[in-house]
A and B are shown apart, each in its own frame.
Chain A
Amino acid sequence: MNTSAAIKVADLRKDYRGTRAVDAISFDVPHGSITGFLGPNGAGKSTTLRMLVGLTAPTGGSATVLGRHYTELVNPGRRVGVLLDASAQHSGRTGLEVLRLGAMMMGLPDRRAEEMIEKVGLSAAESRRRTGTYSLGMRQRLGVAHALLGDPSVLILDEPANGLDPAGIHWMRTLLKEFADAGGSVLLSSHLLHEIEVVADELVVIGRGRIVARGAKNDLLAGSGVAVRSTDDEGLAAAMRAAGVPFTDHPDGGFTVSAAAEHIANIAAAAGITLRELRTADDGGLEQLFLRLTADDAREDVRS
C-alpha cells in the first residue's frame, strides 16, 4: 500500500438520462480514520458508494480503494468489507449460510462464519433462521458480519445504523472505533447525523449530488461559536457590544457568540458580570451545520 489514502474519489460523476445524480465529487478517506458520508435521501450517497465498489459504472471521474480501482482488486473481500444494503439477502437462506457462502467464496474456513455471527451479537439459534424472518436490525448485524468476514482493512458501509435500536447503535459505534483504532479505514454513510457526529473523524456532506462541506469534523463544527449565559444578560450584551464582539440571542436565553471563550470570560470579568455557563455551542452541532448546508437541497423545508 503506497497510497496516502485508503479511498480516493476524484471528480466522480454519474448521469442518468440527463439527470446528474453525482456531480464531480472528490474526497479522500485517510488510513485509520472514520469518514462520515452525510446527505439527505436522494443526495447521491448510495450511487457514489456503488460506483466506488464497481456495481455502477461512473459517467466520469475515478474512484480507487487501496490505490486501485475496486474491480481490479484481487479477491476484494479480503481487503475491503462492503455493506450496501442489509436487506439484499436471499430470504430463503439462513444467516449462517449467507456467511458460509461468503467465506467459501473468499477462501476462508467455515468457522470464520460462526465467529462473525458471535462477534455481531447474533445468537446461534438466530443464525440458523432464514433471513426472511430477520428484523432490519438483525439484517444490519448480519451485513456487518459479512463485511468483516474477510478481515478487511477498509470498510464501506451504507446506512449501517439504520434499523438498529439504541443499544445496537452504541454497539456499532464501538465496533467502528475499534476497527479504526486497529488501523482500519471506514467510509460510512448516514442520514442519522448524530451517529456520524459521534463516531467520525472526517466528514463529507453532499446535497443533490454535490459536495457542500468536507473536512475534519472538529474544523467543521468549530464554526458554531460559543454559548454564554450570565446572571445579567443585558449588562453582558452591552459589554460585548462595547468590545465589538458579534453575538446573537439564544432562543433559550443567553447568547451565541463568535469569539473565543477566554475572550468572553475576560469581557464579563472586566464588566463584573458573573457567568453561569460558557461552552462551545454544540446544540445540534453538526445537525445545524447539516441542515444549513443542505437546506437548499432538501425535499422538506428544514429552515428553522
Chain B
Amino acid sequence: MAAQFPLTSINLITKLKAGAEDAHLQVSWKRFLELYHEPIEMIARSSYRRHTGGHEPSSGLIEDAVANTVADFFARDQYRYDREKGRLRTYLRLLTNARVVDLLRKERPVDQRPLDDATENGLAAETPGESDVFARSLLATLVEDLRNRIPLRQFEIFERVKLKHQSPQFVAEDLGSTRAMIDRNIHKAMTALRELATQAEYQEEFYE
C-alpha cells in the first residue's frame, strides 16, 4: 500500500503522466495496477464485446489484457505515454484496445468477426461506466497524493474520520487531542485536497 512508499513532493498523477522517459519519476507498476486495474478491466471487456459482436470474454483473457496493458505502459521506449498526444485516460483506452485485439487474434473463436483495420484501430466513445470507474481511480490517486502532501498526523485524522468513518470524538480521545483540533485538521486536509484537485494534471483527466 501507499504507506510503504517514501514521502515525495512530486504528485503521483504527475509521475504517471511523465511516462517512462524520466526514470526518477517512475511509479511502481504494482501500485499502478492496484489503482487502475478496474478501469483497464472495464475497457478490456467493452473492447472485447465490441470486436466480437457482444460475446463475453473469459476471466483469463481479461486478466491477460490487463496484465499486458500494464506491462506495456511501463515498458520503456516502445509504449511510452506521451502527454502531448492526449489524456492519460485516452492513451490507456488505446493501449488496452490494442492488447485485446492481440489476444483475440490468438483466441480466434469460430464466430469471431474479421478484425479489419477499421475495427482494430477504431475506439468507441468512453462509456459512462468506464468514465465512472476511471474517476474513482483518480480519486484514489488524489488521496495518495494528499497523504504525501500533508503532515502524517493530519492525514491520519482525515483518514480515520473521513475514509474509515470513525467518530471525530473517538479519534480525539484516542489521540489525546480535542474535538476542535480534530475538526481543524480535517478542514486543513480537505482544503489541501481541493487544492490538489484543481491542478492541471487532474483537471485534464477530470474534464474534457
| A and B bind | no
Residues of A within 8 A of B (CB): none
Residues of B within 8 A of A (CB): none
